[in-house]
Chains A and B, each alone.
Chain A
Amino acid sequence: MDHLLSLVVFTPLVGMLLLLLIPGSNKQLIRYWANFVGLLGFVVSLPLMTGFNKGQAGYQFYEHADWIPSIGATYTIGIDGISLLLVLLTTFMGFISILCSWSAIQDRVKEYYAMFLLLQVGMLGVFVSLDFFLFYMFWELVLIPMYFIIGIWGGERKLYAAIKFFLYTAAGSVLMLLGILLLYFQYRAQFGVYTFEIAKLMNTTMPLDIQRWVFWALFLGFAVKVPMFPFHTWLPDAHTEAPTAGSVILAGVLLKMGTYGFIRFSLPLLPKASIDPFIVQVLAVLSIIGIIYGAMVSLMQKDWKKLVAYSSVSHLGFCTLGIFAMTPNGLTGSVIQQINHGLSTGMLFLVVGVIYERRHTREIAEYGGLAKVMPNYAVVFAIAMLSSAGLPMLNGFIGEFTILAGVFEINKLWAGLASSGVILAAAYLLWLYQRTMLGKVTNPKNEGLKDLNLREWAIFTPMIALCFWIGLYPKPLFDVLEKPVAQIVERVRPGYLQQQQQKLEAPIPAAAVLVEPRPAGHAQ
């Protein structure tokens, strides 16, 4: 099908429009319909996976149409391996979040699902757009439904969190827009026509200092979204106040828009700035601070959800560090870790959601000994925790390890510092687990809690299966990512790939002979 990608992007929109026709009082029908659309969105995206040719470089499922010719805006969409994975993540996590809202949302059900489906369109649009104008439109589209989801269906401080989320990210986006426009006018100055198409903008040759300006402008937009230290403070509030599904989709997909932005736009469009030693150092250091700092702050949280939120800062630090290593392993690992973070942190938020629905509190001290009352829940939580802590055979390990491998090639110190995040992750997660799940049931309110129900199993089972699958057989992910990543690396570090290849095949690597020849007579 020629318009498969458009179909994937706009299925939720059509679903939403039809949803609006259902009378708001018929909550059950609305739920069924929204869940159906969510599932449909996922099913429709599956042919992308089967039809994707991993051996082919460049974009696939490409669609192109003129939109506003006077300013050079087009409707250009297409995916490569990187966006393919993120699109699949989005359709999957979108369905999961819709499914997990079934009993959690009781007011304004119709508006809620409409917002979610709209959000879905925005996120998918971001990952498939190959035109900056279109991208920016989708990018901003995401903000609005998310703002309402937090602001209407959130917790006690929902308005504060929603407004903070909106303003903070919007401020970043505006600066990003300035960067886009700078690039846009640079192109116009060189080629005499206006265009927002990424492929064409790639041909712009810019002096380093202009590239730097554009880079920092885009950086602010993306860094706030990721969020990178020190732009992360909106995240704990937004996560804590958002309804469960909101947190899941926020952590699972929304944050990846930032990291995706770096990979898709910053690196290929601004190769010289991206490799600029100062910029690389600043970004790597911010990422490493994010890893350690996010983990340390997690340790101190008394609020279950906030703890998971700060752990996101730490995990996303790994993702950005992998990106700025700009090596094949770094980038590949980063994308895989983005998927993994979506799954494992998504699961951790779902775990909080399950208990929140039963007890309506997120205070860690309120719990303890839940493993006795809810044994199945304890197992699911344990798997989510271990996947997040990067235990081998589960997904998190594959991502983190690949990132570390990629970073190690460039800077051993960075890899060393980042690896401390692995230790701290075990600390804050195990401590959380101990305080909530282990010990005796001390709080009488926890005594009669019900274990996972069928719908909750239906949510967790596929996620757990994916975690194991990625942990045991990640090769398909690597295969899909190989070409696009190689392309980016080749653009940013020309010759690097070849050099690595030669190094591995060389008979005696120069680096191996580090030591002085041993003094004569000093026999072994």
Chain B
Amino acid sequence: MNFLDSIWLIPLFPLMGALIMLLFGRRLPNSVVRFICPGTIGFSFLLSVGAVIQLSSTAEKSHEFIQWFWMPAIKADWGFLLDPLSSVMILVVTGIGFLIHVYATGYMAHEGGFYRFFGYLNLFVFFMLILVLANNYLLLFVGWEGVGLCSYLLIGFYFEKKSASDAGMKAFIVNRIGDAAFILGMLYMFGLTGSVRFTQVAAWFESHHLPAETAAWGMLSTIALLFFIGATGKSAQFPLYVWLPDAMEGPTPVSALIHAATMVTAGVYMVARSHVLFELTPMTSEIVAVVGGFTAIFAASIGLVQNDIKRVLAYSTVSQLGFMFLAAGVGAYWVAVFHLVTHAFFKALLFLGAGSVIHGMSGEQDMRHMGGLKKYMPTTHWTMFIATLAISGIPGLAGFFSKDEILAQVYGSAHGSKALYVVGITTALMTSFYMWRLMYMTFYGTARSHVHAHESPKSMTVPLQVLAVGSVLAGWLAVPKLFGPVGFHTFSDWLEHYFGAEHGGHDIPELALTSLSVLAAVLGIWIASRIYLKVWDGPLYRALLNKWYVDEIYNYLFVNGLVKGGAKWMFWVDRNVLDGGVNGAGWMTRTVSTLAMWWDTWIVDGLVRFTAFTVKVAGYPARLIETGQVQTYALGFFIGVLALLGYFMAR
């Protein structure tokens, strides 16, 4: 089978699953649903594996497949591109997506709307695959908006709950701000290069030999910045990150799939996809790195004190996405993608583990009410333990390799900086702390509530185990050069086909840096073990607990101030000034008409009637004679005749 020309089937399977669920799902028994929906993703995964294997044996390592000419306005087609970057993405999306689907069959087993949930979830995977397989920006945008829609639907899955539908709405609208920028960036790009197809755009940049915009802010920088603003929406970067923590209102498998492993990394993917552009715009790249670094440390700081298990993970996700942008910003695109992959494993695992805990605790999410769960939920515990080791950066596990590589690149690459490195290493320390705080509060110590916790069913724990294996092994795809010949660099070699060979040769003191990151990780664990239950009641603590009051500030300034305030004012203007003018014109017309009527009745018609009156008065004497009676006239006539006769006879 030629998998390469069948890549359009990869998104088609989940779409069919979604259509079946949304059209006929209500009539299907849950046992069928739980078979179909993970099944479609499984098929897509197999197809993806086949396609990637075939791709790796081609010479050009890139395969484009165009289905139809879609959007004439900017010459965009409906076509797919499989290259090293998108092949990594489809494997993550379908592979981890499949595991999460399986998990969800257990997690959602007792929930209403089972078919609806899986319909949305399949639809999400469809759009996500469109996003990563698209061969042009506009089709990428289709997936981009589509995953946003599914995210809205799934965050608001418990739509009877106001907080859930609020969170969904917030996610959609905040994302739209980024989308507007993305659209403008796309239009700019088309105006400049006459195409939005990735391969053509890249070729255009190559053939035009544009100088990098180092000296002045130019058109390329603007395009790159607009794209990045789009990315900050979808990938929850400062200042548009506020929707992601709220998105935890959705069911936990959704948080794992959409709000940790796949959708939120779309921004990173898009920046990596546009790397040719970002390489030409060092100033925008710097913005990317700074925003990424700031988001990483900012979100991590909030994560330090949160008590809701999912919220900690949400801020952790924001922070880790910041790391990815940090890497992309310093030009280490393959490292950003590498971290994207490892993060997908351990963060999905952490969320699913948290879901398992919540499931076992009958819906409890507050870690202050947990503790000592290790003995009741052994599998959940050890898998989460591995994931937490991985995210903290303990050597040998996935997170170590990718995070260490990011920090090394930030320190040593041509666009890196020492200041950003300090931010990065501090964040690493904080990450290790809040993750271990989470572990301690949840699994160790004594139980702080009387809920009878129990381990989750097999359908949930098996995906956890698979992901745990992944959280260890994924890192070994790209072992740092420090370990030289022993390691293999499959991942970086594979992506080199796309990003080009690394401009090596800078001196990175890898051993020192690595030791430092390990030290940070261990220090974090140690601090966490000492103070995990501690609460300091100070202003800083309260600021952290209240998430630096960012939501309040946004509400005050934008939601209530600019939008609602402005809208109220405009509506007032509309009713009173504009429509007031129209009604005023109506009133004027009526008033003038009344006056005119008066004038007409008394002056114009008065004159007419006066004339009539004059005639009437003048004619009054005549009326006395003009009686209308024929007899009278006849009598008059007779008298007249007699008088005339008399006159003539008398003469």
Q: Is the CB of B73 within 8 A of A423?
A: no
A438: Cβ under 8 A from any B Cβ: yes
User: Roughly how many angstroms separate A437 CA and B78 CA in the complex, as a whole number?
Assistant: 34
Q: Mark A396-432, 1 if CB is under 8 A from B, else 0.
A: 0110011011101100100110011011101100110
- Assuming the contacts A296-B566, A423-B177, asked whether A392 and B192 have C-beta atoms less than 8 A apart, the reply is no
Q: Mark B560-575, 1 if CB is under 8 A from A, else 0.
A: 0001101110110010
Complexed CA–CA distance, A439 and B162 (Å) = 6
A475 within 8 A of B: yes
Instruction: Given A398-B71, A515-B211, decide whether A422 and B566 contact each other with a Cβ distance below 8 A.
Output: no
The answer on a CB contact under 8 Å between A300 and B567 is yes
B residues near A391, Cβ cutoff 8 Å? 145-146, 149
**Proximity bits, B358-377, A CB within 8 Å = 1, else 0:** 00000000000000000000
Question: Is A439 a contact partner of B219 (Cβ separation < 8 A)?
Answer: no
Contacts A329-B73, A371-B159, A392-B145 given; indicate if A297 touches B571 (C-beta within 8 A).
Answer: yes
Which one of B41-49, B182-190, B382-390, B426-434 contacts A? B182-190
Asked if A440 CB lies within 8 Å of chain B CBs, one says yes
A230 at the A/B interface (Cβ < 8 Å)?
A: yes
The complex places the Cα of A401 from the Cα of B183 at a distance, in Å, of 8
CB neighbours of B179 from chain A (8 A)? 422-423
How many of chain A's residues touch chain B, expressed as a range?
35 or more
Contact B156 A419 (CB under 8 A): no
With both beta carbons as reference points, the residue of chain A lying nearest to B219 in the complex is identified as: A514
From B142, B180, B183, B210, contact of A393 by CB (8 A) = B142
**Which residues of chain B from 108 to 143 have any CB-CB distance to chain A below 8 Å in the complex?**
138, 141-142
Interface membership of B169, Cβ < 8 A: yes
Given A405-B74, A408-B187, A423-B180, CB of A518 within 8 Å of CB of B173: no
**Are A513 and B210 in touch, CB under 8 angstroms?**
yes
Q: How far is the CB of A301 from chain B (nearest CB, A)?
A: 8
Q: How far is the CB of A380 from chain B (nearest CB, A)?
A: 12
The answer on a CB contact under 8 Å between B73 and A518 is: no
Cα distance, A508 to B172, chains bound together (Å): 39
Residues from chain B with Cβ under 8 Å of A524 in the complex = 212, 414
Q: Is A386 in contact with chain B by the CB < 8 A criterion?
A: yes
**Does A6 sit at the interface, judged by CB under 8 A?**
no
Residues B215 and A332 in contact, CB atoms below 8 Å apart = no
Which A residues touch B149, using CB under 8 A? 386, 391
B160 contacts chain A at the CB level, 8 A cutoff: yes
B493 on interface, CB distance cutoff 8 Å: no
Q: Which residues of B contact A424 (CB under 8 A)?
A: 563
Q: Tell me if A67 counts as interface (CB < 8 A to partner B).
A: no
Instruction: Enumerate chain B residues within 8 angstroms of A300, measured Cβ to Cβ.
Output: 564, 567-568, 570-571
Chain B residues near A404 (CB-CB < 8 A): 183-184, 187
Are A438 and B180 within 8 A (Cβ)?
Answer: no
Q: Decide: B564 and A233 in contact? CB cutoff 8 A.
A: no
B180 touches A422 (CB 8 A): yes
A521 to B506, CA, bound (A): 18
- In whole angstroms, what is the CA distance A170 to B567 when docked? 30
Q: Does A333 contact B (CB under 8 A)?
A: yes
Q: Does B68 contact A (CB under 8 A)?
A: yes
B486 interface contact, C-beta 8 A: no
Q: With A419-B183, A434-B169, A514-B219 in contact, is A473–B146 under 8 Å at CB?
A: no
A509 close to B (CB within 8 Å): yes
Contact A512 B73 (CB under 8 A): no
Q: Once the chains bind, are B173 and A478 in contact (CB under 8 Å)?
A: no
- B454 at the A/B interface (Cβ < 8 Å)? no
Quick check: B160 and A372 within 8 Å, CB to CB? Answer: yes
Closest Cβ of chain A to B534, distance in Å, is: 39
**Contact flags A480-524 to B (C-beta < 8 A → 1, else 0):** 000000000000000000000001100011011111111100101
C-alpha gap A386/B152 in the complex (Å) = 12
A233 interface neighbour in B188, B215, B216, B582, Cβ under 8 Å = B582
Q: Which of B166, B183, B192, B586 has the most CB of A within 10 A?
A: B183
Contacts A233-B578, A404-B183, A515-B215; A504 near B194 (Cβ below 8 A):
yes
The one of B22, B156, B184, B563 that contacts A299, using a Cβ cutoff of 8 Å: B563
**Contact A473-B187, Cβ < 8 Å, known A299-B564, A522-B214:** no
Which residues in B have their C-beta under 8 angstroms from that of A299?
A: 563-564, 567
**Least CB distance, B541 to chain A, in whole angstroms:** 34
- Residues of B within 8 Å of A167, CB to CB, are 586
**CB-defined contacts of A393 to chain B, threshold 8 Å:** 142, 146
> What residue of chain A has the Cβ atom nearest to residue B152's Cβ?
A430
Interchain CB contact (< 8 A) of B176 among A406, A426, A512: A426
On chain B, the residues within 8 Å of A293 by CB distance are 570, 574
> How far apart are the CA atoms of A301 and B568 in the complex, in Å?
10
Q: Is the CB of B173 within 8 A of A511?
A: no
Q: In the complex, are the beta carbons of B208 and A475 less than 8 A apart?
A: no
Contact of B160 among A232, A401, A440 (CB under 8 A): A440
Q: A405-B187, A408-B187 are in contact. Are A517 and B219 (CB under 8 A)?
A: no
Question: Given A233-B578, A514-B218 in contact, is the A297-B567 Cβ separation under 8 Å?
Answer: yes
Among B73, B161, B169, B191, chain A packs the most CB atoms within 10 A around the CB of B73
- The docked-state distance in angstroms from the alpha carbon of A512 to that of B211 is 10
**Once bound together, how far apart are the Cα atoms of A427 and B563, in whole Å?**
10
Contacts of A386 in B (CB 8 A): 149
> Would B184 and A416 count as touching, CB distance under 8 A?
yes
Q: Tell me if A392 and B141 are in contact (CB < 8 A).
A: yes
Contact B173 A426 (CB under 8 A): yes
- A313 vs chain B, min Cβ distance (A): 10
- How long is the Cα–Cα vector from A296 to B569 in the complex, in angstroms? 9
The chain B residue sitting closest to A399, CB to CB, is: B73
Contacts of B191 in A (CB 8 A): 408-409, 511
Minimum Cβ distance to chain A for residue B247 (Å): 15
Q: Which of B72, B145, B212, B214 contacts A478 (CB 8 A)?
A: B72
| A265 interface hit (Cβ, 8 Å) | no
Given A233-B574, A293-B570, A296-B567: A475 and B70 interface contact (C-beta under 8 Å): yes
Would you call A465 an interface residue if the criterion is a C-beta within 8 Å of the partner chain's C-beta atoms? no
Q: Which of B187-206 contact A (CB under 8 A)?
A: 187-188, 190-192, 194
Which of B22, B142, B160, B582 is the one whose CB lies under 8 Å from A164? B582
B165 within 8 A of A: yes
A 460-488 binary contact with B (CB < 8 Å = 1; else 0): 00000000000011110010000000000
Q: In the complex, what's the smallest C-beta–C-beta distance from A103 to chain B, in angstroms?
A: 26
Chain B residues, Cβ within 8 Å of A426? 172-173, 176
- Give Cα A397 to B138, complex, Å: 11
**Cross-chain contact B184 with A419 (CB below 8 angstroms):** yes
Within 8 A of A (CB), among B549-606: 563-564, 566-568, 570-571, 574, 578-579, 582, 586
Is the Cβ of A401 less than 8 Å from the Cβ of B71? Answer: yes
Contact B216 A516 (CB under 8 A): yes
A213 within 8 A of B: no
**A residues 130-173 in Cβ contact with B at 8 Å:** 164, 167-168
**B22: chain A residues within 8 A (beta carbon):** 379
Is B69 in the interface zone, CB < 8 Å from A?
yes
| Residue interface mask B309-345, A partner, CB < 8 A = 1 | 0000000000000000000000000000000000000
**How far is B577's CA from A297's CA once the two chains are assembled, in angstroms?**
14
> Could you show 17 A-B contacts with beta carbons less than 8 Å apart?
A297-B570, A391-B146, A391-B149, A398-B73, A401-B183, A408-B188, A415-B187, A416-B184, A419-B184, A422-B180, A437-B159, A438-B156, A512-B219, A514-B220, A516-B215, A516-B216, A519-B215
Binding site for A on B (CB under 8 A): 22, 68-74, 78, 138, 141-142, 145-146, 149, 152, 156, 159-162, 165-166, 169, 172-173, 176-177, 179-180, 183-184, 187-188, 190-192, 194, 208, 210-216, 218-220, 414, 563-564, 566-568, 570-571, 574, 578-579, 582, 586
Q: A293-B570, A440-B160, A514-B218 are in contact. List 18 more A-B contacts (CB 8 A).
A: A164-B582, A230-B578, A297-B571, A299-B564, A299-B567, A404-B184, A405-B190, A422-B183, A427-B173, A427-B563, A439-B162, A474-B70, A475-B70, A508-B208, A515-B215, A515-B216, A515-B220, A524-B414
- A-B residue pairs, 9 tightest by C-beta: A233-B579, A402-B73, A392-B142, A478-B72, A515-B218, A296-B567, A514-B218, A504-B194, A419-B180
